[in-house]
């Protein structure tokens, strides 16, 4: 299979998984907030923010395993892949046990640290202990996700994601309806942390004929050192990003109020929904860059970076622009009119989604080639800048000030990342940005102006009217992009992909 077709297939598989996540989130988020209430949901958001970054305590080794799986698979060296997988599985098992003990110990001080009401203190402690079990188990089991990404089996990966989302939906509704509160949310996450890797292990063997052999005798310190040479900077990058993300709710909780954490989290959730529709393309690039790097194909590396940035802008802009305009009615209809004030944070986070998408697309080249020193340093600087600005902004501008601090920090990282990756790929920054941004941006401006005019005529007050207005603006954007942004060759290539997909999966497939 050609690289272009594999990327198209992987991106499509990512979008299929994303649609399931998006649809279930549309129901779960308002159901969870309205069932728990503002205070209890704020406590749950604090738990996720305080301990969620520990999911990255793999020191970036899972990403290293995915990278080297792609490289060694290209060289048909399955034995080395098995040795790396075995090594990480047992290393992660040890780390997971330590993390479990640490989180459990802190659970006794959580309520006092965040001034949680005694009414919720015991429930919060139980939820944290269950969360600790989840982290401890998910670390060693994460090797199956890494192997799946390294082999570029995104259809299997996203099928597992879809199944997990359905399990999460059912468990959350059942447990919250039964009155389990945040303990029920923790139990649902624990179950799904186990089901997805079990599914992947079974399907890799059954459908892809990829057997994952994990044995203590296959563990190899030398291979661990190789992976650490890559993962050290990757860990700094991921940890900085996670800490920056977790810092927002913590700053709001400490310097504004617990209730304000819920308002802030709703705005962040809107931004994350936009990212769910824009990240699938970027996540499919990382193993592709690794494979090209292993083949030392610099020309195709440059072409892939240029085309992926352009495609990323075309896909991301409508989601960002339409959500920015419709943020207030979206939150009112989705969560409730009493949370409409979260629209300010939502708009800021939607803009941050655009910044992160462009940064993630360009940095996929760095992840694939292992050139991470500057990138990790920039992430660390973004963390410091975001936290510092957030602390100063929170007393004056509340949760909106914290959100703006995060946006400014990541914008600075982007301003350095794109020129740096362009230099590595030997492409001109000005030509890439001109080709990628100007025409799609003008198309978006026209579509959003039409959407604003439509809102003046009819303010959307239900999901149907919201969907119709969003689809109308999206259609205008797509028509303008098709007519003025795509070349004849790109149009022909796209139509060819559609025909190939229809022949493969349509009603006449296999005849």
Q: What is the DSSP string of 326-346?
A: THHHHHHHHT-GGGGGGHHHH
Q: Specify if 511 maps to a domain.
A: no
The total number of structural domains that make up the chain: 2
The single-letter DSSP state of residue 217 is G
pLDDT at 4: 58
Tell me the C-alpha to C-alpha distance, in Å, between residue 92 and each of 106, 160, 200, 236: 21, 22, 18, 18
The residue among 219, 252, 281 that closes a domain is 219
pTM score > 0.75 for this model? Answer: no
SS3 418: helix
Q: Are 189 and 168 within 8 A, CB to CB?
A: yes
Q: What are phi and psi of 489, to 5 degrees?
A: -65, -40
The residue among 169, 191, 219 that closes a domain is 219
Token pair 């020191």 in the structure block, residue: 59
Q: What CA–CA distance (Å, rounded) separates 450 from 472?
A: 9
Dihedral-angle region of residue 112 (phi above 0 means left; psi in -120 to 50 means alpha; beta otherwise): alpha
Q: Are 483 and 475 within 8 A, CB to CB?
A: no
Tell me the C-alpha to C-alpha distance, in Å, between residue 380 and each of 4, 242, 394, 412: 34, 11, 21, 12
Q: Which residues contact 304 (CB under 8 A, 6 or more apart)?
A: 3, 285, 288, 289, 292
Shared-domain flag, residues 35 and 158: yes
Q: Are 364 and 308 within 8 A, CB to CB?
A: yes
Q: Are 111 and 50 within 8 A, CB to CB?
A: no
Shared-domain flag, residues 215 and 244: no
Shared-domain flag, residues 83 and 132: yes
Shared-domain flag, residues 89 and 150: yes
Q: Are 260 and 399 within 8 A, CB to CB?
A: yes
Q: What is the pLDDT along the chain (511 residues), one digit of tens a residue?
A: 555 566 666 666 667 777 777 788 778 878 888 888 878 888 888 888 777 666 667 777 887 888 888 778 877 777 888 888 899 899 888 988 988 898 888 888 888 777 777 888 888 889 889 988 988 888 888 888 888 878 778 777 778 888 888 888 899 999 998 888 889 988 998 998 888 888 888 888 777 677 778 888 888 888 888 888 777 777 777 778 777 777 888 888 888 877 788 888 888 888 887 877 666 666 667 667 777 777 776 777 777 777 777 777 888 888 889 989 888 888 888 888 888 888 899 999 999 988 888 887 777 777 777 677 777 888 888 888 889 999 998 888 888 899 999 999 989 888 888 888 877 777 777 766 776 778 888 888 898 888 888 877 777 878 888 888 888 988 999 899 888 877 787 778 777 766 765 665 555 554 4
Q: What CA–CA distance (Å, rounded) separates 222 from 304?
A: 32
Q: Which residues contact 417 (CB under 8 A, 6 or more apart)?
A: 359, 362, 363, 375, 378
Q: Which domain holds residue 269?
A: 239-504
Where is 26: in which H helix or E strand?
helix 3-36
Q: Specify if 233 maps to a domain.
A: no
Q: What CA–CA distance (Å, rounded) separates 367 from 293?
A: 10
Shared-domain flag, residues 215 and 243: no
* Dihedral sign for Cα atoms in the order 6, 298, 64, 209: positive
Q: Specify if 232 maps to a domain.
A: no
The single-letter DSSP state of residue 506 is S
Shared-domain flag, residues 215 and 284: no
Shared-domain flag, residues 371 and 433: yes
Shared-domain flag, residues 287 and 180: no
Q: Specify if 73 maps to a domain.
A: yes
Shared-domain flag, residues 168 and 126: yes
The residue among 157, 185, 219 that closes a domain is 219
Tell me the C-alpha to C-alpha distance, in Å, between residue 116 and each of 47, 102, 172, 255: 11, 20, 23, 15
Shared-domain flag, residues 30 and 156: yes
Shared-domain flag, residues 243 and 322: yes
Q: Specify if 110 maps to a domain.
A: yes
Q: Specify if 488 maps to a domain.
A: yes
Q: How far is CA 377 from the centre of its chain?
A: 21
Q: What CA–CA distance (Å, rounded) separates 200 from 85?
A: 14
Reported residue count of the chain is 511
Shared-domain flag, residues 163 and 311: no
Exposure of 50 by Cβ count < 10 A (0-12 exposed, 13-18 middle, 19+ buried)? buried
Q: Specify if 230 maps to a domain.
A: no
pLDDT at 280: 66
SS3 474: helix
Neighbouring CB atoms inside 10 A of 498's CB total: 10
Q: Specify if 234 maps to a domain.
A: no
Q: What CA–CA distance (Å, rounded) separates 62 from 214?
A: 15
Structure tokens at 158: 């996203």
Share of the chain above pLDDT 90, in %: 5
């Amino acid at each position: 299979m050609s690289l272009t077709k594999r990327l198209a297939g992987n991106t499509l598989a990512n979008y299929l998984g994303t649609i399931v996540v998006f649809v279930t989130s549309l129901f779960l988020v308002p159901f969870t907030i309205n069932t728990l209430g503002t205070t209890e949901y704020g406590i749950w958001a604090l738990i996720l923010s305080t301990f969620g970054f520990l999911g990255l305590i793999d020191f970036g080794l899972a990403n290293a395993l995915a990278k080297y799986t792609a490289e060694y698979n290209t060289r048909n060296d399955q034995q080395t892949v098995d040795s790396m997988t075995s090594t990480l599985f047992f290393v992660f098992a040890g780390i997971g046990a330590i993390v479990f003990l640490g989180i459990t110990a802190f659970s006794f001080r959580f309520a006092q640290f965040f001034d949680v009401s005694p009414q919720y203190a015991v429930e919060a402690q139980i939820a944290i202990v269950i969360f600790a079990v989840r982290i401890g188990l998910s670390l060693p089991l994460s090797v199956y996700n890494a192997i799946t990404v390294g082999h570029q089996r995104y259809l299997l990966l996203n099928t597992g994601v879809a199944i997990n989302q359905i399990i999460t939906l059912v468990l959350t509704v059942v447990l919250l309806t039964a009155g389990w509160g945040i303990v029920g949310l923790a139990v649902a996450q624990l179950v799904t942390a186990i089901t997805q890797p079990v599914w992947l292990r079974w399907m890799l063997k059954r459908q892809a004929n990829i057997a994952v052999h994990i044995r203590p005798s296959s563990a190899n310190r030398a291979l661990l050192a190789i992976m650490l040479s890559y993962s050290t900077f990757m860990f700094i990058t991921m940890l900085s990003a996670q800490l920056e993300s977790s810092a927002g709710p913590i700053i709001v909780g400490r310097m504004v109020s617990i209730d304000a954490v819920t308002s802030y989290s709703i705005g962040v959730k809107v931004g994350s929904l936009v990212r769910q529709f824009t990240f699938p393309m970027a996540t499919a690039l990382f193993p592709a860059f690794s494979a090209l790097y292993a083949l030392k194909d610099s020309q195709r590396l440059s072409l892939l970076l240029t085309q992926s940035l352009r495609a990323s802008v075309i896909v991301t802009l409508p989601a960002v622009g339409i959500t920015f305009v419709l943020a207030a009615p979206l939150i009112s209809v989705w969560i409730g009119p009493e949370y409409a004030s979260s629209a300010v944070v939502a708009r800021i986070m939607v803009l941050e989604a655009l910044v992160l998408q462009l940064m993630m697309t360009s940095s996929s080249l760095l992840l694939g080639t292992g050139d991470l020193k500057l990138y990790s340093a920039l992430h660390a600087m973004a963390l410091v800048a975001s936290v510092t600005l957030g602390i100063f902004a929170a007393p004056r501008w509340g949760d909106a000030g914290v959100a703006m601090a995060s946006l400014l920090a990541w914008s600075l990282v982007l301003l350095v990342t794109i020129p740096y990756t362009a230099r590595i790929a030997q492409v001109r920054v000005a030509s890439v940005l001109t080709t990628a941004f100007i025409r799609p941006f003008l198309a978006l401006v026209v579509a959003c102006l039409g959407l604003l005019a439509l809102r003046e005529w009819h303010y959307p007050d239900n999901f149907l009217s919201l969907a119709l207005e969003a689809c109308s603006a999206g259609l205008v954007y797509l028509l303008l992009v098709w007519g003025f942004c795509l070349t004849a060759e790109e149009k022909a290539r796209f139509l060819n992909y559609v025909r190939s997909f229809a022949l493969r999966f349509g009603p006449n497939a296999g005849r």
